[in-house]
């Protein structure tokens, strides 16, 4: 029962009704699946924190049907937020702005700011529009994974994380694969709290100024905790030469290590070493990244050696997730 087929209008209505009734519902976006609850109901939002085992001070993103609805959660709408929203919404961008104090206290983790996003995925858009008709102004939704683990990019991944009890609106695989870029617009110049598939230069071109790096003044972002997005296996990042050397040293002893190698370069891995090619294009690499890490885990891999992606701006989002997955 809990899998609702997004192509079925009855299932879509049931999903919107579940949200309106204060229930949890997982749903697809163009980035990753979200674990949603109506943002204007603190008791509903508490269910998200409980399900994720997420500390209650870690704020969630509120998803809205359009920019006008999103703005209802803001007490101020800085010019930078307006420019970015105009250009990139609906899309994989979250804006942090000052919060309307009477709204979404729990979703904001008690902070005076709020993260807002208008997603572009057609299933998410229909769901948010239908929920809005039922009186739901916005849906708080972190990524649909347990705290600190790899995000879910398919309905099956969500079920792996939370079991079959949870209602999941199944819209297939998420096209993007890594979470939205987050820009803090509460101070100038705006800061990039989390890189995504939108490139820094695209954001800066719209802002007309370089983005600030996140600093200790920046609001908390759990996605920016050093260790996050971690698979169960230990993950190590190496360049192609380091990988070749390490594999050569291992030689035939590799079997028994439950080692997997994930690289763009062609490598000769010994017997017992699983090898998976990382796509050459960052968009394709992002799309499969979390699914690939989950597959390694599912096959009992204990150690994943990953080739460091290129140090170019188009790979920033993927590099960021891999660095965090590799952090102790
Ligand atoms: O692509 C995405 O953003 C997905 C989909 C479901 O929309 N959501 C997502 O949510 O990645 P989550 O909770 O896993 O990551 C949201 C990040 C967290 O790091 C959180 O701390 C940060 O956004 N965040 C939310 N509100 C914030 C605020 N007021 N100030 C600072 N950071 C905030
Ligand atoms: Mg997350």
Query: How far away, in angstroms, is 94 Cα from ligand 2 center?
Result: 13
Are residues 100 and 58 part of one domain? yes
Based on the fold, state whether residues 28 and 120 are members of the same structural domain: yes
Residue 289: its pLDDT value, please?
A: 98
The domain total for the chain is: 2
Query: Do 262 and 299 reside in the same domain of the chain?
Result: yes
Asked if residue 57 belongs to a domain, the reply is yes
Tens digit of pLDDT for each residue in 36-59?
Answer: 999 999 999 999 999 998 888 889
Structural domain span for residue 308: 234-326
Q: Domain for residue 48, yes or no?
A: yes
Question: How many CA within 13 A on the CB side of residue 246?
Answer: 17
183 in the same domain as 47:
yes
What is the CATH number for 314?
3.40.50.11030
Task: With respect to residue 21, please indicate whether it lies within any of the assigned structural domains.
Answer: yes
| Burial of 23: CB neighbours in 10 Å, binned 0-12, 13-18, 19+ | middle
126 & 261 share domain:
no
Ligand located closest to 26 CA = 1
Closest ligand to the CA of 74: 1
Report if residue 128 sits inside a domain: yes
Give the β-pairing of 303-307 and 259-263: parallel
CA-to-CA dists, residue 124 to 174, 215, 326, angstroms: 11, 32, 31
| Same-domain check for residues 13 and 82 | yes
For residue 73, give the nearest of 99, 94, 93, 38 by alpha carbon: 99
In a domain, 135, yes or no: yes
- Ligand 2 geometric centre to CA of 153 (Å): 12
> Does the beta carbon of 218 lie inside 6 Å of ligand 1?
no
Indicate if 264 and 191 belong to the same structural domain: no
Q: Is the pLDDT of residue 270 over 80?
A: no
Residues 163 and 254 in one domain: no
Give the sheet arrangement for strand 212-213, strand by strand: 3-5, 168-170, 25-27, 34-38, 139-140, 61-63, 113-117, 93-98, 181-184, 191-194, 212-213
Query: Cβ atoms within 10 A of the Cβ of 8, count?
Result: 12
Measured from the alpha carbon of residue 48, the closest ligand is: 1
- The whole-number pLDDT of residue 213 equals 87
> For 168-222, what is each residue's pLDDT tens digit?
999 999 999 999 999 999 999 999 999 999 999 999 999 999 999 887 655 555 5
For position 250, what pLDDT does the model report? 84
State in Å: Cα 245 to ligand 2 middle.
34
The yes-or-no verdict on residue 228 having pLDDT over 70 is no
Ligand 2 centroid–CA 243 distance in Å is 29
Domain at 200, CATH number? 3.90.870.10
Distance 155 CA to ligand 2 centre (A): 16
Question: Is the minimum distance from the CB of 212 to ligand 1 under 6 angstroms?
Answer: no
pLDDT of residue 123: 98
User: So what's the pLDDT on residue 219?
Assistant: 52
Residues 29 and 176 placed together within one structural domain of the fold: yes
pLDDT at site 98: 98
What pLDDT does 179 receive? 98
Residue 80, C-beta contacts closer than 8 angstroms, at least 6 positions apart: 183, 185, 188, 189, 190, 207
pLDDT tens readout for residues 114-161: 999 999 999 999 999 999 999 999 999 999 999 888 999 999 999 999
Answer yes or no: is 221 within a domain: no
Q: Do 91 and 120 form a contact (C-beta atoms < 8 A)?
A: yes
pLDDT at 161: 95
- The residue from 207, 224, 242 where one domain ends is 207
The per-residue pLDDT for 217 is: 54
- What's the pLDDT at 220? 54
Best residue among 33, 121, 143 to mutate for probing ligand 1, ranked by most atoms within 8 Å of CB: 143
Neighbours of ion ligand 2 (CB under 5 A): 143
288-297: average pLDDT: 97
Ligand 1 nearest atom to the CA of residue 218, by list position: 31
Q: Please tell me whether residues 8 and 94 are part of one structural domain.
A: yes
pTM: 0.95
Q: Is the pLDDT of residue 226 over 70?
A: no
Q: Are 57 and 109 in contact (CB under 8 A)?
A: yes
Is 186 touching ligand 1 by the criterion CB < 6 Å?
Answer: no
Q: Do 135 and 249 have their domain in common?
A: no
Name residues whose C-beta falls within 8 Å of residue 300's C-beta, 6 or more positions apart in sequence. Answer: 258
Instruction: Compute the distance between CA of residue 161 and CA of residue 113 in angstroms, rounded to an integer.
Output: 29
Residue 179 CA to ligand 1 centre (angstroms): 8
Q: 132 with 238, same domain?
A: no
159 lines ligand 1 (CB under 6 A): no
Mean pLDDT computed over every residue of the chain: 93
In DSSP terms, 93 is beta-bridged to 181
Q: What is the pLDDT of residues 42-101, one digit of tens each?
A: 999 999 999 998 888 889 999 999 999 999 999 999 999 999 999 999 999 999 999 999
| Nearest ligand, measured from the Cα of 151 | 2
């Amino acid at each position: 029962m809990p899998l609702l087929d997004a192509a079925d209008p009855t299932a879509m209505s049931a999903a919107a009704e579940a949200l309106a009734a204060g229930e949890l519902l997982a749903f697809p976006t163009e980035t990753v699946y979200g674990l949603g609850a109506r943002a204007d109901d603190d008791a509903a939002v508490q269910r998200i924190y409980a399900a994720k085992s997420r500390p209650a001070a870690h704020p969630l993103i509120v998803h809205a049907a359009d920019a006008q609805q999103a703005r209802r959660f803001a007490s101020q709408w800085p010019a930078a937020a307006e420019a970015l929203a105009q250009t990139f919404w609906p899309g994989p961008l979250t804006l942090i702005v000052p919060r309307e104090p009477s709204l979404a206290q729990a979703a904001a983790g008690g902070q005076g700011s709020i993260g807002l996003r208008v997603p572009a995925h057609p299933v998410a858009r229909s769901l948010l529009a239908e929920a809005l008709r039922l009186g739901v102004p916005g849906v708080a939704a972190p990524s649909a994974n347990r705290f600190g683990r790899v995000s879910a990019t398919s309905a099956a991944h969500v079920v792996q994380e939370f079991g079959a009890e949870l209602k999941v609106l199944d819209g297939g695989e998420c096209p993007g694969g890594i979470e939205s870029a987050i820009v803090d617009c509460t101070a100038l110049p705006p800061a990039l709290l989390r890189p995504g598939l939108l490139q820094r230069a695209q954001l800066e071109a719209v802002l007309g100024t370089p983005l600030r790096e996140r600093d200790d003044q920046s609001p908390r972002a759990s996605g920016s905790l050093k260790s996050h997005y971690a698979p169960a296996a230990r993950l190590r990042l190496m360049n192609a030469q380091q990988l070749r050397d390490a594999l050569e040293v291992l030689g035939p002893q590799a079997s028994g290590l439950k080692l997997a190698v994930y690289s763009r370069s062609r490598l000769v891995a010994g017997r017992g070493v699983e090898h998976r090619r990382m796509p050459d294009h960052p968009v394709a690499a992002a799309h499969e990244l979390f699914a690939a890490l989950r597959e390694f885990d599912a096959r009992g891999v204990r150690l994943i050696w990953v080739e460091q992606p290129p140090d170019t701006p188009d790979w920033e989002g993927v590099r960021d997730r891999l660095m965090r997955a590799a952090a102790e």
